[in-house]
Amino acid sequence: MQRRYTGLTAAVAALSMAATLAGCGAGEGAGEVTLKLVAADYGSNDANGSQGYWDGLARSFEKTHPGITVDVDVMSWKDVDREVAEMVRKGEAPDLAQIGAYADHAAEDRLYKADELLPIPTQANFLPLLARAGQVGRSQYGLPFAASTRLLFYNKGLFEKAGAKPPKTWDEIRTAAGKLKDEGVKFPFALPLGSEESQAETMMWMLAGGGGYRDVSNISYDIDSAENVATFTWLKNNLVGKGLTGPVAPAELDRQEAFDAFAQGDVGMLNGHPTLMDAAEKAGVDVGMVPLPSPDGEGRPSMGVADWMMAFKQNGHRKEIGEFLTYVYEDKNVLAFSDRYDILPVTSTATATMRDDPRHRALWPFLEELPTSELYPVGHTSWAKVSESVKRNIGKAVAPGGDPEAVLAGIARDAKDAEADE
């Protein structure tokens, strides 16, 4: 892939730069400009927080782009989307935001399009799956910034002690969890359906069960489909109901709490993403990973996740924003961020480099899942409301006395109402 892009060399680069400069408009952004960037924090503590990454990148950019200063404010994932929305509401939008959702801002015509900001080679270098996911009405507003997929993580030491084998089917999950419970493992299978990120855990199980949030045509939501009802009925009866998910009710268990418990050696298995791998291994856990099991052991699409960069039009710094983003998406910077946080790169050339580098061998299984994965329906403005309904309600589906069909039907009604407002 790298050779295909470098083969374009000077001619395409010159044409694309000319097109970019022409599109930016003469005189726009002249003089000293300060770009305001609000970004999400990928670090697990102060020592590896994202502020350090962005400050280093900004200072490096400024050395070769006199007249442009980049001011970065990093916020926690729990706050960053809400804080950016509040800035916009006050008429104080940042120039750039690296957050979780872009569709609402695109629908209100607040954002620049990708082709207004980036030279052609940079646009073309985004992985096709992610570029399509960043579109609203066939125009790309969301620039993918980081990606990940999901695998089933298991504690090799606990599995060996319990005489369990890595599962390929749901029945094998239940069998292994039973053996882990008999050995006194605190969380045989950690099932985080709490408010932090239960929309992700929900989607993983839906996809494994042959369903999903949207119907096969991707025209509308299909949350209470027969497949989804069967999936959560199985979870309720076979994992939660048999006491195989640990002492904390799934509705009260957040993702980070489950990840921390895995790193402490208290979890037999759970669905996880690449950042858990490094944290667990540093804590001394011998980590195993397999594709997410399905009812019959056949392969199913994994859940893919992308986080987004977007550029607001309010301050009119299109030229300077474009220059900074072109720098952000250079391979050296994409790979530096991926290395720092065990995140998958979002460009074709950086992905090819990672595939060819044995240092990244641990991430190769996640890379293999990405091309066929399914992402949240982030291009629909309704998704934010649907996601919130899932977070509030899905834990009830597997609670004692819970009715999975009724809970999913309630979320489906919320989805229908949200769609009507699009």
- Same domain as 219, residue 359: no
- Same domain as 239, residue 210: yes
- Same domain as 131, residue 73: yes
- Same domain as 395, residue 252: yes
- Same domain as 17, residue 74: yes
Global pTM reads 0.83
Tally of domains within the chain = 2
CATH classification at residue 124: 3.40.190.10
- Same domain as 361, residue 244: no
Cα distance between residue 67 and residue 59, in whole Å: 12
- Same domain as 69, residue 56: yes
- Same domain as 39, residue 13: yes
Q: What is the pLDDT along the chain (422 residues), one digit of tens a residue?
A: 333 333 333 333 333 443 444 334 333 444 699 999 999 999 877 778 899 999 999 999 999 999 999 999 999 988 899 999 999 999 999 999 999 889 999 999 999 999 999 999 999 999 999 999 999 988 999 999 999 999 999 999 999 999 999 999 999 999 999 999 999 999 999 999 998 889 999 999 999 999 999 988 777 999 999 999 999 999 999 999 999 999 999 999 999 999 999 999 999 999 999 889 888 999 999 999 999 999 999 989 999 999 999 999 999 999 999 999 999 999 999 999 999 998 999 999 999 999 999 999 999 999 999 988 999 998 888 998 999 999 999 999 999 999 999 999 999 999 999 998 87
- Same domain as 210, residue 132: no
- Same domain as 143, residue 155: no
- Same domain as 233, residue 159: yes
- Same domain as 107, residue 11: yes
Q: Whole domain around residue 256: which residue ranges?
A: 151-301+382-420
Matching residue, tokens 């989307």: 81
